[in-house]
Structure formats: C-alpha cells, structure tokens
Chains A and B, each alone.
Chain A
Amino acid sequence: MNDLAMATTPTLTHFLVISAALFSIGLLAALSRRHAIYILIGVEMLLAAANLNFIAFWRYGAPSPQPTGVMIALFSIAIAAAEAAVGLALVIAVYRHYRTTNVDQFTSMKG
C-alpha cells in the first residue's frame, strides 16, 4: 500500500481499490438493511462500481480505436436506469399489496 500512496498520479490499482470498496459498500447496503429501497440503493452502487472499473480499464488499457469501456459504461448506466425504474415500481406495487417495504416480510416464496 505504501507505494500506492507515494505515486504522483493515481494508477489503475487505485481505481480498482476504490471500485472494490464501493462494491463492498453497495453489497453492505443491499445485504444488511431490511428496507427494500436500501437494496435498490445498494444494487445501484454495485453497478456504479462496475462502471468505474470499465472506465478505469479503458483508460489504463492499451489504446484502441473503439472506446469500448466507455460504451459499456454508457449502456450499463442505461440498464441501471431501467433497473431502477422497474425495481422502484415493484417496491410500490409490493407496498400496496403488503403495506410494508420490509423485505423480511415478503416470504410467500419460502420453500
């Protein structure tokens, strides 16, 4: 870690570590809270962490004529937006039905 802190400009590893941390925080939000919206917040963070990786690899990888990393990040943002819309609609629909957003109480699928 020492050489990381010493570098004058951030390297790929810096970004990967940040992305990993963001990913873990997203996972934390998605796993440890009972409110359905926290789960969605967590999932959004997971996707953002992945996007950060795409961009970082695009920037630090070998230069290519196609900005593939950027493109994938863009599509991923679009998909995340779709996911958020449907997910939140589901939360509202479920809330109307169960009158709660506590995911621990959605147990109709319990095996």
Chain B
Amino acid sequence: MSTVAFFAIAIFTLAAALAAASFSKLIHAALCLALAFIGIAAFYFSLGAEFVGLAQVFIYVGAVAVLIVFTILLTRRESDAPVQFKWSGAVVALAVFAGLIWAIFKSPLPGGAAPAVAPLTVKQIGESLMTSYVWPLQCVGLLLTGALIGAVVLVMDEKP
C-alpha cells in the first residue's frame, strides 16, 4: 500500500471525524461519523484485516449509525438547540493528543514496512474464534444478549 493511499484515507477519516465532532447539526454529525467509520474500515482493509473492516462497516454503518439517527429522531426536540461548545474540552483533547504524539515518538517502535505474512482468511478467524477464543466469544454473546434485553427494558414504556 502506498503512502499516497494512506494519506488519502487518513485525511478522509480525520476530516470526517472532525466534522462529526464539530458539526452543529446532530444529524450531520452522525452521518459524518458513519463516513469516518468507513474510513477506518478502509484502514483495516489496507492492513490486511478485511474481515474486521467488513464487520466494522456492517456493525457501525449498518447498526450503530442507524441507532444513533433513530435516537436523534426520538429526542428531536433538542437537536436544533444553539451550539454550546466547551473550550475546556478542546484544550484537554489537544493536550491528550500532544501527550500521545510525544509518547509515540519517544517509544522505540519497529520501523519499516509491515512484515510479509500470509493473508488472514475468514476461515482462520473462525477457527480461532471457535478454539482459543471460544470463552470470550461466549462472554460477548452473553454481553450482547444482556445489552439487548437491557436496552429494551430501558426504553420500554413505564406506563403499563
């Protein structure tokens, strides 16, 4: 993968993310979030993790973004309120960014291109999920079931 493609995806992703963080209309922010996730999925593709990329698009764009816009719809009364921006948050975020960058450049990281490895097939992932990672898989299954029931209970009408 060339640096050009990398920078193209990076600019796309970061721009979408920044837009998601700063657009005043909530619905635009949510749609930009979906775009940013597509960008991240492109990163996964470029890193050779196609399955994760597809899962990312599937789950975030197909499910989470839809959930978010639905929630926006259900809480619509507020969505056109005037923009309130806390600059303290921006300062903290910037400081964290600076700290992270400093830490990245201070730590000894392997340089150069990624080592050449055989592409990761879906079958391999499936086998890993069913052997070494079967317990985490079951736990995640339980967690998702719990989240499903919890979410339904939370938004259920309190009136009988």
A and B touching (Cβ–Cβ under 8 A): yes
A residues near B (Cβ < 8 Å) are 5, 7-18, 20-35, 37-38, 40-42, 44-45, 48, 51-52, 55-56, 58-63, 66-67, 70-71, 73-75, 77-86, 88-93, 95, 99-102, 104
Inter-chain contact A28/B21, CB cutoff 8 Å: yes
In the complex, how many residue pairs between chain A and chain B have their CB atoms under 8 Å apart?
254
Residues of A within 8 A of B17 (CB): 22, 25-26, 45
Known: A27-B93, A33-B84. A12 touches B110 (CB 8 A): yes
Q: For the complex formed, measure the closest distance between the CB of B59 and the CB atoms of chain A, giving whole angstroms.
A: 5
B residues near A (Cβ < 8 Å) are 1-3, 6, 10, 13-14, 17-18, 20-22, 26, 29-30, 33, 36-37, 40, 43-44, 47-49, 51-52, 55-56, 59-60, 63-64, 67-68, 70-72, 74-75, 77-79, 81, 84-90, 92-94, 96-97, 100-101, 104-105, 109-115, 117, 120, 124-125, 128-129, 132-133, 136-137, 140, 143-144, 146-148, 150-152, 154-155
Determine the distance from Cα of A55 to Cα of B40 in the docked complex, in whole angstroms: 11
Picked from A13, A16, A25, the residue with its CB within 8 Å of the CB of B18 is: A25
Picked from B37, B75, B129, the residue with its CB within 8 Å of the CB of A95 is: B75
Chain B interface main SS type? helix
Residues of B within 8 A of A92 (CB): 71, 74-75, 154-155
| Chain B residue with the shortest CB-CB distance to A6 | B3
| Chain A residue with the shortest CB-CB distance to B24 | A33
A sample of 5 more A-B contacts (CB under 8 A), given A12-B114, A29-B20, A37-B75, is: A22-B13, A25-B93, A35-B79, A40-B68, A60-B110
Residues of B within 8 A of A22 (CB): 13-14, 17, 36, 40
Picked from B49, B63, B68, B75, the residue with its CB within 8 Å of the CB of A55 is: B49
| Chain B residue with the shortest CB-CB distance to A45 | B17
Residues of B within 8 A of A27 (CB): 89, 92-93, 96
Inter-chain contact A32/B90, CB cutoff 8 Å: yes
Determine the distance from Cα of A56 to Cα of B137 in the docked complex, in whole angstroms: 22
Determine the distance from Cα of A17 to Cα of B36 in the docked complex, in whole angstroms: 16
Inter-chain contact A84/B13, CB cutoff 8 Å: no
Q: For the complex formed, measure the closest distance between the CB of A22 and the CB atoms of chain B, giving whole angstroms.
A: 6
Residues of A within 8 A of B143 (CB): 78-79, 82
